[in-house]
Chains A and B, each alone.
Chain A
Amino acid sequence: MNTEDINMDWEKDAPLLASIIKANPFKVPANYFEDLGEKIQSEVFLDNLNSNTDGFKTPIAYFDNLGEQIINQIKLQEIIVGDLGFATPQNYFENAKQQTLKSIQIKKKGIARIINLSLVRYAAAACILMITSFGIYININQSKNLSHQLSEIPDEEIESYLQQHVDNGDVPIIIDNLSDNSAFSSDNSKLTEEELIKLLDTTP
């Protein structure tokens, strides 16, 4: 009696079990075994990629601790945002928009005032400058006109005017003016005899 014969003895001890037809009672999805080989080969390929040293790696036990780290981060955020952290006045965020808009309007008004005041100052300065320039311009024009008008009067008329209207007090002025006149020498001490006679004749 060999060992495998001994194994067959169980049929005598378990007749009901022995009477059951050996059949596979389990089912698998359709075409499962046709696709299984390919599925396994894909799995092997992915595993090779994962174990490849050139691929991405994570620190040791990274994924073991990842969940705990995320939970700690969430708790930390809750503490910061929650009652133990900084608080804001009631309805602060609801009213924040309106408050901000008001502040912007006030600033705009302030800026407009500043702009108006500056403009007035600049305008006033410009007016003063224009008036001053205009005055100077008129003054210069008048001086030029006087010289121009005098230059047009003939010398005989001037001489006769002077003979009729000049008095002793005008002599020094006339002498000064004579110095600019090319007809006479500028130095009184060097007056010629004719000039002196002429001067004395014209002086009343």
Chain B
Amino acid sequence: MIVEDSLILQKFEDEKTRNESFSLLLEKYQQKVYWHIRRMVLNHDDADDLVQDVFVKVWKNLINFRQDSQLYTWIYRIATNECITFLKKKKQKNNVSLDDLTEELSQNLNEENYFSGDAIQKKLQEALLTLPEKQKLVFNMKYFDDLKFQEISDILGTSVGALKASYHLAVKKIEHHLLSHD
């Protein structure tokens, strides 16, 4: 049974039902958030850490959530920011270039325990690694999560037009990569 966001928020306002509300929220969003993060960082352990950080932030800030945006776009925004911060830190910490980071991330695709896709899916993931972070985010949210451009706009704070352009550009690059590495 899918619980409405409005009910989750209503229960969260009451201290007595706050824990119950949070359990409902986790049940509804934990997988979506996990996969959103996993597609960005590729590594399961990193995604596991990040998904926990995201929901700790959700818990701490949900009481201040103004319902001028959808709950899930708000949660996605937190998750996206965590991913971007994580990847930046990883780059700085290891003092590696973008190419080296891409190489490091692509190694996760070779681990049988964590990747079960076929050759073409692996090639798609490798193509995604060549995209700038924001283009990759837009592509993931549109292609895999089937979000509308307006929803992506709410999450990323970018205009719908810019997102469309970004998405088309990403698609062309991926197609080119798939063809050239065939």
Q: How large is the interface on A (under 10, 10 to 19, 20 to 34, 35 or more residues)?
A: 20 to 34
Asked whether any CB of chain B lies closer than 8 Å to the CB of A108, the reply is no
Once the chains are docked, how many angstroms separate the CA of A13 from the CA of B55?
Answer: 38
Secondary structure call for the B interface: helix
Find A10's partner among B31, B59, B171 (CB 8 Å cutoff).
B171
A17 engages B175 (CB within 8 Å):
yes
Q: A17-B124, A25-B115, A26-B116 are in contact. Are A43 and B56 (CB under 8 A)?
A: yes
Q: Are A14 and B114 in contact (CB under 8 A)?
A: no
Quick check: B115 and A41 within 8 Å, CB to CB? no
- Flag if A7 contacts B44 (CB, 8 Å): no
Contact B52 A39 (CB under 8 A): yes
Q: Is the CB of A41 within 8 A of B23?
A: yes
Q: Could you mark each residue 38-68 of chain B with 1 if its beta carbon is under 8 Å from any beta carbon of chain A, else 0? A: 1100101000000110011001100000000
Is the CB–CB distance between B26 and A37 below 8 Å? yes
How far is A51 from B129 in the complex, measured between Cα atoms in Å?
37
Contact of A23 among B39, B44, B117 (CB under 8 A): B117
Q: Chain A: interface secondary structure? A: helix
Produce 1/0 per residue, A7-34, CB < 8 A to B.
1011001111100101111111100010
Cross-chain contact A44 with B55 (CB below 8 angstroms): yes
Contacting pair A14 B144 (CB below 8 A): no
Measured in the bound complex, the distance between the Cα atoms of B23 and A41 in whole Å is 8
* A40 adjacent to chain B (CB < 8 Å): yes
Q: Chain A 44-63 against B: per-residue CB contact (8 Å), 1 yes, 0 no? A: 10010001000000000000
- B48 to chain A minimum Cβ distance, whole angstroms, is 8
Within 8 A of A (CB), among B52-95: 52, 55-56, 59-60
- Give the interface of A toward B (CB within 8 A): 3-4, 6-7, 9-10, 13-17, 20, 22-29, 33, 36-37, 39-41, 43-44, 47, 51
Q: Which residues of B contact A (CB under 8 A)?
A: 19, 22-23, 26-27, 30-31, 34-35, 38-39, 42, 44, 51-52, 55-56, 59-60, 113-118, 120-122, 124-125, 142-144, 148-149, 160, 164, 167-168, 171-172, 174-175, 178-179
Q: A13-B172, A26-B44, A36-B51 are in contact. List 18 more A-B contacts (CB 8 A).
A: A3-B164, A13-B171, A14-B175, A16-B175, A16-B179, A17-B174, A17-B175, A23-B121, A25-B117, A25-B122, A27-B114, A36-B26, A36-B30, A37-B30, A40-B55, A41-B19, A43-B55, A51-B60
Q: List 17 A-B contacts (CB under 8 A).
A: A7-B167, A10-B171, A13-B168, A20-B120, A20-B124, A23-B117, A25-B122, A25-B125, A26-B42, A26-B116, A27-B113, A27-B115, A28-B44, A36-B26, A41-B23, A47-B56, A47-B60
